[in-house]
Structure 1
């Protein structure tokens, strides 16, 4: 893997976040009060996450090696391209204009009965045994082609994934002050009860933990009225 310095990572992060930031700023200046609140919060959360985690060289490179599926490497240029693409996809996890990764502000109503878990519930991602909190969900797979390609689904696996609810889940990152965002299919998620994880920025989305789940703030409850 080519040597990646913290300076290079900062430049990549700033360049790749420019368009999402411009989009969010445009949203902040229009729409309802709730939409402006969401847009503003996402700008702050995205920068906070990048500053605390992805500008940390060791944490960022380690996360790339363990969390994002890889394509075969065909030399240094190919590997650099994959690193750029991986970072672009990760930034898209925070916000994007296509509504990928359960960031759409569309109200989830009615709520399909086959969506088994709810926003605010503490869950475990069963493949990596990571515990996190559900931040949102899609009734089916809603992700960019680049991300789907990296997952290396077989035809049958892809068909299954397309019709499976997917959850946007926040986890603690490589260090105590950082976060990771996952987009996990329902068959790899199970409830993890009687535990309150300590994850940075949760207070922006939830008012408190009631002993079983995190209680959504009013603006998030408006998007998921039946959760």
Structure 2
């Protein structure tokens, strides 16, 4: 029986997904957060390759399968579940991020570089903030020019504050002295203010930042690539 070279080629590429995944997830030194970033980049590349071969039905099917597989891996290593109780009075918590985490980049999770930097975004990655209503401290680890979250989350958390959707929204590691359970929140810009000379206690701080310079945190190289104009 003749060997179908196209099938062999596709099968070989499919087998390569596993070792590539293993290399990325085991590469040292790598934090869980950076591992997630690397996997997201791989997913984006697979999606790019997929679009280049749309005319080949078999190839398209293989790429879809591979991309879906990598997406599932990204979700497996995605950021910890983010929970909070309050949904009124200026709070905008990101609950159960694993439920929503996908290639859409919800909750400032996109790996696409924020370049050029929008002039409407007031605060920067690495700045320490305080929530104006709830008073907790935290450090900004990401932002979106406008809220980027699932519709059901926005309806539930923004409530009557519909203008929050059009404001910059920030992903914030919350100081464990102010909130338990190593929380992260997703907060509209008008609800936070910058504070200085304050270090934040959170187990993921070192995954995002190299050091604290006395005023703000300095991003690690992988985070600088996403927010190249924030330093």
> Which has the larger Rg?
2
Distance apart, 1:28 and its partner CA: 4.6
Equivalent of 1:212 in 210, 215, 220: 215
Distance apart, 1:200 and its partner CA: 1.1
- Aligned residue in 2 for 1:22: none
Equivalent of 1:180 in 171, 178, 183: 183
The structure with the largest helix share of the pair is: 1
What is the CA deviation profile of residues 142-185 of structure 1, one whole-angstrom value per residue up to 9, with x for unaligned ones?
1101111212523xx31x22220000001134898841111100
Q: What TM-score, normalized to structure 2?
A: 0.61
SS at match of 1:100: coil
What is the CA deviation profile of residues 4-45 of structure 1, one whole-angstrom value per residue up to 9, with x for unaligned ones?
xxxxxxxxxxxxxxxxxxxxx9995699x9985624698667
Structure 1: tracts of 5 or more residues without a match: 1-24, 55-62, 70-85
Q: What TM-score, normalized to structure 1?
A: 0.62
C-alpha RMSD of the superposition: 3.7
Q: How does 1:153-172 map to 2 (within 5 A)?
A: 153-154=159-160, 157-158=161-162, 160-172=163-175
- Aligned residue in 2 for 1:151: 157
What is the CA deviation profile of residues 44-99 of structure 1, one whole-angstrom value per residue up to 9, with x for unaligned ones?
674xx56xxx9xxxxxxxx65x3456xxxxxxxxxxxxxxxx99x42338843221
SS at match of 1:179: coil
Higher RCO structure, 1 or 2 (CA under 8 Å, sep 6+): 1
> Distance between the aligned counterparts of 1:26 and 1:152, measured in 2?
42
How many residue pairs end up in the alignment? 168
In 2 relative to 1, CA 106–175 (structure 1 residues): closer, same or farther, beyond 3 Å?
same
Structure 2: tracts of 5 or more residues without a match: 1-17, 41-73
